[in-house]
């Protein structure tokens, strides 16, 4: 599922340091000449494409990025120190636009690509550079140049890592609001969700994944019934499907487990009828609303037995958050494994793959076998 993630930031490079106006003054050297050093270069703001980042959420909270100014030059031919550069790590696929003109400036399309968002100002010249045969004591010096300042709009087409499936009112929107920063509309009636919602689940400072919530599916969705069929095609690019099932019931005379099994089979059949590849995608079963079930363990065992389910299954309460933390951690581990495989495949295709341990690199030859296959000059 693709969503457009946007953020607007301001980047300001550092000003170059001023050149120094100074003369050498030592004992017995009354006219030592100029010795003013140059100013240091101002800090530059860079952007680097990083395939380990998948959203622009960090730039929504850190909008201003200002580099330091370079130091001024000093006497005794001392040059000012250059300021440290700032490097902003952005997801691969980020497009950088000028926020004022709308012009596309950069397209970060490959991992490790490095571009200059705002160049630091050059340092000024000290008076040592203005000495000549006719001017032995120059007083001229130049100030440092100003750094660039830009307002930039970042745009990224985000691919969701996890897609939420389920009948209407199964608790998909409640779950995504519980585990992520998304705030969809939640109400106690079917088809509350009318358009896809995107949420970023952050498990640590450097690890996160994206969850997509689509309108609920009903029987006949593959033929156009309900709203979910309009968005089923967006789930083709997700890595894992979470199948949410409501195992609770407000009617004491209703067999909630039998109803839930029937609904789960209907959803699976709709996936198979719509797209065989989507049907074969990794799918995890999530039993929701177990906080209102008298015996959650018995319901879980009976549900899996009647459905014939042998894959991953989780029992949670999206409303209270019970059981969701383990689900998040397991999803992060699985998605990290998928990403690692994609990165290795990308590096192999680009010819830049380096095995973590050379002893286990399949592309390397054993020294003895290579020597045996090397033709001898005497042969």
Residues 106 and 210 in one domain: no
Express as a percent the part of the chain with pLDDT over 70: 79
Residues 31 and 115 in one domain: yes
Tens digits of residue pLDDT in 110-147: 888 899 999 999 999 888 888 888 888 888 888 999 99
Residues 141 and 180 in one domain: no
Tens digits of residue pLDDT in 67-107: 999 999 888 888 888 899 999 998 887 889 998 888 888 88
Residue 189, pLDDT above cutoff 50? no
For residues 86 and 46, the answer to whether their CB atoms sit within 8 Å is yes
Residues 166 and 294 in one domain: yes
Residues 108 and 184 in one domain: no
Residues 147 and 181 in one domain: no
Report pLDDT for 212.
Answer: 78
Tens digits of residue pLDDT in 211-224: 877 765 555 544 54
Q: Is residue 312 part of a domain?
A: yes
Report pLDDT for 149.
Answer: 93
Q: How many domains does the chain have?
A: 2
Residues 111 and 213 in one domain: no
Query: The domain spanning residue 243 has which CATH number?
Result: 3.40.50.300
Q: Is residue 365 part of a domain?
A: no
Q: Is residue 372 part of a domain?
A: no
Q: Is residue 333 part of a domain?
A: yes
Q: Is residue 360 part of a domain?
A: no
Residues 146 and 181 in one domain: no
Residues 153 and 188 in one domain: no
For residue 236, the enclosing domain spans: 160-338
From 338, 355, 371, the end of a domain falls on 338
């Amino acid at each position: 599922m693709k969503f457009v993630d946007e953020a607007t930031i301001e980047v300001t490079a550092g000003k170059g340091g001023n050149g120094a106006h100074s003369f050498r003054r030592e004992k017995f050297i009354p006219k030592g000449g100029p010795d003013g050093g140059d100013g240091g270069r101002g800090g530059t703001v860079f952007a680097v494409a990083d395939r380990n980042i998948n959203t622009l959420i960090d730039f929504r909270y850190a909008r201003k990025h200002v580099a330091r100014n370079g130091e001024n030059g000093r006497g005794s031919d001392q040059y000012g120190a250059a300021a440290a550069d700032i490097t902003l790590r952005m997801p691969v696929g980020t497009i950088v636009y000028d926020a004022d003109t709308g012009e596309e400036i950069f397209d970060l399309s490959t991992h490790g690509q490095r571009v200059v968002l705002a160049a630091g100002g050059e340092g000024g010249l000290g008076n040592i550079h203005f000495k000549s045969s006719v001017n032995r004591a120059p007083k001229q010096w130049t100030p440092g140049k100003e750094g660039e300042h830009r307002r930039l709009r970042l745009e990224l087409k985000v691919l969701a890592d996890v897609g939420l499936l389920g009948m209407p009112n199964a608790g998909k929107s409640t779950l995504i609001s519980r585990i992520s920063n998304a705030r969809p509309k939640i109400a106690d009636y079917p088809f509350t969700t009318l358009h896809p919602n995107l949420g970023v689940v952050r498990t640590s400072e450097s690890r996160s994944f994206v969850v997509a919530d689509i309108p609920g599916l009903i029987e006949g969705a593959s033929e156009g019934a309900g709203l979910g069929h309009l968005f089923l095609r967006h789930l083709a690019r997700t890595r894992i499907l979470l199948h949410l099932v409501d195992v609770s019931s407000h009617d004491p005379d209703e067999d909630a487990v039998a109803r839930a099994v029937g609904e789960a089979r209907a959803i699976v059949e709709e996936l198979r009828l719509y797209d065989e590849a989507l049907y074969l995608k990794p799918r995890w079963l999530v039993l929701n609303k177990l906080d209102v079930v008298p015996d959650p363990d018995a319901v879980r065992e009976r549900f899996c037995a009647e459905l014939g389910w042998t894959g991953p299954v989780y029992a949670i309460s999206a409303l209270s958050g019970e059981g969701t933390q383990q689900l998040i951690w397991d999803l992060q581990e699985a998605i990290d494994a998928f990403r690692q495989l994609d990165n290795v495949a990308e590096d192999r295709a680009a010819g830049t793959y380096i095995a973590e341990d050379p002893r286990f690199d399949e592309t390397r030859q054993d020294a003895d076998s290579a020597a045996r296959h090397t033709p001898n000059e005497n042969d």
